[in-house]
Amino acid sequence: MSTTPAETNAAPTATAPAPSPDDGALAWLHALGPRGRRAFAGAFGGYALDSYDYFTLPLSMVALAAYFGLDSGQTGLFTTVTLVVSAVGGALAGVVADRIGRVKALMITVVTYAVFTVACGFAPNYETLLVFRALQGLGFGGEWAVGAILVAEYASARHRGRTLGAIQSSWAVGWALAAIMYTLVFSLLDDDLAWRVMFWTGALPALLVVWMRRRVHDAPQAVAVREHSARKGSFAAIFKPGRAGSPGLLRTTVFAVLLSTGVQGGYYTLATWVPTYLKTERDLSVVGTGGYLTFLISGAFLGYLTGGYLTDRLGRRRNIWLFALLSAVCVLAYANIPSGANTLLLVLGFPLGFCMSAIFAGFGSYLSELYPTAVRGTGQGFTYNTVRAVGAVFPTTVGFLADSWGVGGALVFGAIGYGLAALALLGLPETRGRELA
């Protein structure tokens, strides 16, 4: 978007150029400007707390199953309904973001997932908990897409991958907070109460909304487009087929849906079932599970940051191809570690978390660049979130297969998702360096 004086005035010589603010490790943050940095903080905090509220369920899954007397298929259904309803919430949030603004839509999503996460803690039975968890998905589905668009519209084309990769890293921060809280709560309280307390702590995002309401604003160019565009927030526009002289967005939408389905199917299979795998098949204690998750989450955090850097260096498509392959290999290795080799399980947790997160790092920038401003929220919200309804089949399938294959064996099913993602890239263009229009 902007060009620094050092970059503009550099003399064309054969020697190496003088250091520029655009070349530093935090150049992406400086390039955002004051308003952009506040938008970054709001989106980072919203996504971290979105992650926190999401992981209250997988971490409490064993206690919930015991409390309500559930089998693996029923517990897998929790994740499925969350992801299916989040598909609806995400698509609607994208339209809302195009029509009333990114920040207002972001606040709506945060309040929604916070309210229904807390409500889960009061559920008297399995059916009620299933309904509350589904409604939590309405807010959960919309937060990332809206927050990513908000920041993408402030970011420079040169640094957009790194900037959105940093936003993605907040997912690991929220996951870590949830793991810490899980270790504390389940160590201090009886399981029958501990799972409820975990959900009650989901009220934290309300504090973020109060700050965002005063301090965060949409990017000026997005406001201008919203005020003057007649086609803002149109589902018809993202499914418009191409014609002579008008490429349309149908092809982009179809292949972006396939890409998101594969990546999210693989990811949510692991995110949902690894804690259960560690406790039931590896016989780890609460503290032991927390320790193993530390390696997994640490790898995830660094994976987001590294993937964001590589998506700017290698390009969006090459980054996703690279980590789709590595993620599939890590899943297969992790699920087939021999019994008793728990040290190897610990070590492999880091590359598993790294690879399955690095593939996500380029999503925010890539999807933002595939759609024009007037329908960016709609396009990104639909392609990233609607496919959760399809990707949700993966965790449920693992749940049903777990009874006969074991959780470890069933986790291999997640590798199929990464293969689908790699194939989907054949139908999408490279967008590195593209200015948002």
> Mind spelling out the 3-state secondary structure of the chain?
CCCCHHHHHCCCCCCCCCCCHHHCCCHHHHCCHHHHHHHHHHHHHHHHHHHHHHHHHHHHHHHHHHHHCCCHHHHHHHHHHHHHHHHHHHHHHHHHHHHHCHHHHHHHHHHHHHHHHHHHCCCCCHHHHHHHHHHHHHHHHHHHHHHHHHHHCCCCCCCHHHHHHHHHHHHHHHHHHHHHHHHHHHHHCCHHHHHHHHHHHHHCHHHHHHHHHHHCCCCHHHHHHHHHCCCCCCHHHHCCCCECCECCCHHHHHHHHHHHHHHHHHHHHHHHHHHHHHHHCCCCCHHHHHHHHHHHHHHHHHHHHHHHHHHHHCCHHHHHHHHHHHHHHHHHHHHCCCCCCHHHHHHHHHHHHHHHHHCCCCHHHHHHHHCCHHHHHHHHHHHHHHCHHHHCHHHHHHHHHHHHHCHHHHHHHHHHHHHHHHHHHHHCCCCCCCCCC
Q: Is pTM, for the whole model, over 0.85?
A: no
pLDDT tens, per residue, the chain with 437 residues: 444 444 334 444 434 444 444 557 788 999 999 999 999 999 999 999 989 988 898 889 889 999 999 987 788 788 778 878 888 898 999 999 999 999 999 999 999 999 999 999 999 999 999 999 999 988 888 888 899 999 999 999 999 999 999 998 998 899 889 989 999 999 999 999 999 999 999 888 878 888 888 899 999 988 998 888 777 778 889 998 977 666 789 999 999 999 988 888 777 776 666 666 666 665 655 555 666 678 878 888 999 999 999 999 999 999 999 999 998 888 777 777 777 666 777 777 788 889 888 988 888 899 999 999 999 999 999 998 877 666 666 666 666 666 666 655 556 667 788 888 899 999 999 999 998 87
